[in-house]
């Protein structure tokens, strides 16, 4: 089988590596506009990697396409893959782009292909954790996702912009608009991240989670940020973003009812965000290749995979999933 990975950044290069080491994929086509970056990646991935840099060949022969290009450039890749009826896995978390992609859902359904949106750390693994936590409840009332840390420079840029744009939370049957960088909440992540101040941001998590959990009354998504992050968010990034951030984490809290009583479920993962995102995207791509995705059309991971089996899969790939246990799960 042959997979195509668009983007050779912190996530894309790792997706290519994981797909080649998984045994299912024979060849990976890796596309990027940066020839130096491609050359650097290809040195460590061997002859089964085919690199293509701009201007790209018109045809792309692949059984699945993983889109790991910077935010704002993923939509054309999805349109192209839909035109060729190829399954697509996207890793972006930008709000506007995800909403634009969801408008293509009827086309994906008509074409009979699966398009997985936001198959990264959060959204992505966070959606699967929400789906898994929901199995412990009879009725899900609230879902609150928090994320700490960023992946590569493209991810850092998306988070920087997200803190200054309008964030959308789902609350009591409608979308609540709030400024990014507002709504401070102290969120406890698994160690070593620990407690972090988190704020609203214009990210795609609530949109994908509402798609998967239309019955939930309150869905929020927050990212950790410092005072400097919030102060400088409306400005262009003053310093070039890091090549890759340090450790990050996600935390998914579900509130609901079980047996008539109120219950909270809190799940979390600590990992470098780019590593976790690549692990999730590679696993999703292999699920697409083996026909294990639950449905055709377009949706987030919560609707596309069976959560227990998927969590087993990413656990075998090295991610450590944790659950919070206590009298009261602090937020």
Partner 1 sequence: MMRTIRGALESIMAAVAVASVFRAIGITRIPRQTGGWRRLEGPDLR
Residue 318 CB, nearest approach to partner 1 (Å): 13
Q: Binders of partner 1 among 281-310, rule CB under 8 A?
A: 308
Query: In terms of CB distance, is 47 or 325 closer to partner 1?
Result: 325
Could you give the 3-state DSSP secondary structure of residue 164? coil
Q: How far is CA 125 from CA 14, 195, 278, in A?
A: 16, 20, 11
Instruction: Give least dist CB 261 to partner 1, A.
Output: 18
326 binds partner 1 (CB under 8 A): yes
Q: Decide: is 330 part of the binding site for partner 1 (CB under 8 A).
A: yes
Residue 184 engages partner 1 in binding (rule: CB under 8 A): no
For partner 1, give the closer residue by CB, 226 or 243. Answer: 226
Nearer to partner 1 by Cβ, of 168 and 310: the residue is: 310
Among 175, 191, 234, 246, binds partner 1 (CB under 8 A): 191
Closest CA to 265 of 121, 122, 129, 146: 129
Choose, by CB under 8 A, the member of 71, 149, 190, 245 that binds partner 1.
Answer: 190
C-beta of 194: minimal distance to partner 1 in Å? 9
Residue 82 or 267: the one with the smaller Cβ distance to partner 1 is 267
Please state whether 53 falls in left (phi above 0), alpha (psi between -120 and 50) or beta. Answer: beta
Smallest separation (angstroms) from partner 1 to the CB of 277: 19
Asked if 321 interacts with partner 1 (CB under 8 A), we say yes
Residue nearer to partner 1 on the CB measure, 98 or 270: 270
By the 8 A CB rule, do 310 and 128 touch? yes
Q: What is the DSSP letter of 203?
A: B
CA distance 144 to 130: 9
Report the residue number, 83 or 308, with the smaller CB distance to partner 1: 308
Letter string b/e over residues 236-256, b meaning 16 or more CB atoms within 10 A of that residue's CB: eeeeebeebbeebbbbbbbbb
Nearer to partner 1, 90 or 126 (CB): 126
Whether the Cβ atoms of residue 203 and residue 126 lie closer than 8 Å to each other: no
Q: Which stretch binds partner 1 (CB under 8 A): 101-109, 159-167, 236-244, 313-321?
A: 313-321
Written as six digits, the tokens of 204 are 């795609």
> In terms of CB distance, is 170 or 188 closer to partner 1?
188
The backbone torsions φ and ψ at residue 211, rounded to the nearest 5 degrees and listed phi first, read -60, -40
User: What DSSP assignment string belongs to 230-294?
Assistant: HHHTTSPPSSPPPSS---EEEEEEEEEEETTEEEEEEEEEEE-HHHHHHHHHHHHHHHHHTT--S
234 is a contact residue toward partner 1 (CB under 8 A): no
3-state secondary structure of 14: helix
Assigned token pair, 242: 């890091």
Question: Which of 83, 99, 106, 195 contacts partner 1 by CB under 8 A?
Answer: 195
Distance from CA of residue 315 to its chain's centroid? 17
Burial of 120 (0-12, 13-18, 19+ CB in 10 A): buried
Q: Does the footprint of partner 1 cover residue 328 (CB under 8 A)?
A: yes
Interacting residues with partner 1 between 243 and 282 (CB under 8 A): 267-268
Site membership for partner 1, residue 318 (CB under 8 A): no
Which residues of this chain interact with partner 1, rule CB under 8 A? 132, 186, 188, 190-191, 195, 267-268, 308, 311-312, 315, 320-330
């Amino acid at each position: 089988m042959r997979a195509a990975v668009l983007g050779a950044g912190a996530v894309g290069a790792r997706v290519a590596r994981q797909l080649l080491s998984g045994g299912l994929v024979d060849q990976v086509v890796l596309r990027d506009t940066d020839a130096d970056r491609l050359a650097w990646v290809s040195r460590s991935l061997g002859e089964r990697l085919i690199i293509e840099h701009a201007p790209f060949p018109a045809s792309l022969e692949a059984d699945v396409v993983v889109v790991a290009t910077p935010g704002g450039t993923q939509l054309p890749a999805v349109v192209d893959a839909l035109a060729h009826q190829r399954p697509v896995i996207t890793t972006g978390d930008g709000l506007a782009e995800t909403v634009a992609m969801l408008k293509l859902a009827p086309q994906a359904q008509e074409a009979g292909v699966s398009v997985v949106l936001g198959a990264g750390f959060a959204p992505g693994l966070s959606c699967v954790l929400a789906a898994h936590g929901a199995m412990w409840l009879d009725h899900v009332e609230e879902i609150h996702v928090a994320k700490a840390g960023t992946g590569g420079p493209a991810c850092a840029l998306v988070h920087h912009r997200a803190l200054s744009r309008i964030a959308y939370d789902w609350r009591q049957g409608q979308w609540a608009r709030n400024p990014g960088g507002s709504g401070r909440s102290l969120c406890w992540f698994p160690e070593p991240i620990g407690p972090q101040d988190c704020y609203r941001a214009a990210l795609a998590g609530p949109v994908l989670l509402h798609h998967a959990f239309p019955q939930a009354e309150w869905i929020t998504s927050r990212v950790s940020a410092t005072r400097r992050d919030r102060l400088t968010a409306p400005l262009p990034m003053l310093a070039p973003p890091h090549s890759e951030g340090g450790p990050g984490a996600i935390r998914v809290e579900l509130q609901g009812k079980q047996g008539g009583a109120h219950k909270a479920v809190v799940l979390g993962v600590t990992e470098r965000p780019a590593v976790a995102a690549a692990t999730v995207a590679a696993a999703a791509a292999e699920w697409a290749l083996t026909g294990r995705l639950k449905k055709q059309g377009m949706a987030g991971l919560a609707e596309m995979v069976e959560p227990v089996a998927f969590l087993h899969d990413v656990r075998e790939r090295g991610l450590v999933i944790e659950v919070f246990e206590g009298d009261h799960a602090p937020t």
